Chain A
Amino acid sequence: MHLDPFELHRPSSVDEAVDLARRFEGRCDYLAGGTDLLPNYKMHLNLRPHLIALQDVPELSGRSLDRLGAMERLADLEGDRPLLAAYPPLGDAVAEIATPLVRASGTVGGNLLVETRCFFFNQSHFWRESLGYCLKADGDRCHVVPQKQKCYATFSGDLAPALMAVDAEVELAHSDGRRHLPLGALYDAAGDGIRRLTMRPGELLTGVRLPAATRGQRGTYLKLRVRPSFDFPELGVAASGVLDGERVVRLRVAIGGAEMRPVRHDALTDALVGERLSDDRLRAFAEAVQQATRPVHNTFLLPDYRRRMVSVFVRRAVERLRPGTAG
């Protein structure tokens, strides 16, 4: 498969990158590791005539217990034991992403912004053309939920729920200035699935801030998939928190791989703070998360099964926060 022609830009600073993005607004993509964007380009999915390659921008690299540069390679995180010990859900998630070869090129920023996925989207141009395309690329209707003008493609990143569970923030740069926001706020709750991020056109994700407050807390990430390698999540559950004996001091649970965006269930977890985490209470909590999660039929496993696995995985993940359990 050959790529259609594009112009390749290689900025050496964030300012230069965002200036290019302003110049080519609506006609460019940022290129990080390329493991998501280039397969999509090969399948003629939402091509842009300008690619802004980020590999020469030093500010996007580097990692510490406080910050991950957006261009940090996933494989490099995997070998960073102090980092992974400090934020256990991150360690679990990173090791489960795709394959070692994909992780060798794939980046932190790329995984947080990975394109949403669907049966009807991640297909060759020929395949999609024969079906009249879809809302997410070239078409005007959704084949999964035809009665809605909305894209239900599934958010399939593993890092996002893991980092949301430890209260990570993202740094964004635009030609007008810089800002940071909680990672969960990056994903647009009011979006139609086509607009699925709260980023402005041309805005660049430069890094992730890791809060000292959650460092060292117990946590885990559990991933449902068919093969233990390569597959995107059919469901991803991250949990992080502190239990004082059986009593909940702090708890975060975030779900990915199930809906259009990763979701953290703060209202449900906040209700548990100060309570004793009995088996019955944990089961009721896990079922409440399941009730709030509504996958559609656009990935390999059936949505009913994925949904039923929500309570199973939430229960397993939260159980690992109990003192004395592994993880």
Chain B
Amino acid sequence: MPPAPPVNFRLNGQPIEVSAEPARILLDLLRDDLHLTGSKRGCDLGTCGCCTVLVDGRPTLSCLTLAHLVDGREVTTIEGVSPPRGLTPLQRAFVDVGATQCGFCTPGFVVTATALLRDRPHPSRDEIVRAISGNLCRCTGYVKIVEAIERAAAEGG
């Protein structure tokens, strides 16, 4: 069997080359091959947003993205959103407000909200609610999640 073809992209700021079958999904590549398990596999069908990563800065469902189609692009996972030490102000706000319950959905929310605050540093509550409407929290902790994003925005993202 011929080796799987290579994929070259930047992952959390570093160039990488990995082998992947054409049918390899980006989420599986990240979690199973590269051991970046921050991006979660929830529904695996694009419904829950737990697997959200940034592709060229755009929030993207990694469970519905073929690994080969990020060739030449910049992928940022929750591991890349987080600073080497400590937390971003948004992550700190999630902790301080108590916006995590079981925590499974948190990486997806943080990635989505990071892109929101980058593009709209002072979103209204309605804009926040709309922006996170593709991320599901099965603990239904939305009130505190919105509050955390509002707090991070108030504190300058």
Residues of chain A at the chain B interface (Cβ within 8 Å): 1-8, 10, 31, 34-35, 38-39, 42, 51, 53, 55, 75, 98-102, 104-105, 228-230
Contact = CB atoms under 8 A, between A and B. Distances in A.
B61 A35 contact: yes
B91 interface: no
B45 A39 contact: yes
Contacts of B45: 1, 39, 42
B46 interface: yes
Interface string B45-72: 1110100100000111100111011000
B44 interface: yes
Interface of B: 21-25, 28, 44-47, 49, 52, 58-61, 64-66, 68-69, 112, 130-131, 133-135
Contacts of B60: 101, 104-105
A73 to B, nearest CB: 8
A230 B47 contact: yes
A105 B65 CA distance: 9
A21 B82 CA distance: 43
A8 B66 contact: yes
A105 B46 CA distance: 11
B64 A100 contact: no
A75 B119 CA distance: 13
A101 B22 contact: no
B69 A105 contact: no
A187 to B, nearest CB: 24
A31 B130 CA distance: 27
Contacts of B25: 2-3, 38
B64 A99 contact: no
B131 A100 contact: yes
A105 B134 contact: no
A274 B143 CA distance: 52
Given A35-B64, A39-B46, A229-B133, A101 B59 contact: yes
A45 to B, nearest CB: 12
Contacts of B21: 5
A8 B65 CA distance: 13
A39 B44 CA distance: 8
Contact of B23 (A5, A102, A104): A5
Contacts of A34: 64-66
Contact of A7 (B22, B46, B61): B22
Given A101-B46, A102-B46, A2 B133 contact: no
B50 to A, nearest CB: 11
Given A1-B44, A2-B23, A230 B134 contact: yes
Contacts of B135: 101
B112 A101 contact: yes
A96 B29 CA distance: 31
Given A99-B133, A229-B133, A5 B28 contact: no
A39 B61 CA distance: 12
Contacts of A38: 25, 46, 64, 66
B148 to A, nearest CB: 18
A230 B22 CA distance: 28
B134 A229 contact: yes
Contacts of A10: 68
B134 to A, nearest CB: 3
B22 A102 contact: no
Contacts of B44: 1, 42
Nearest to A1: B44
A264 B130 CA distance: 30
A98 B134 contact: yes
A322 B70 CA distance: 47
A7 B21 CA distance: 9
A34 B52 CA distance: 15
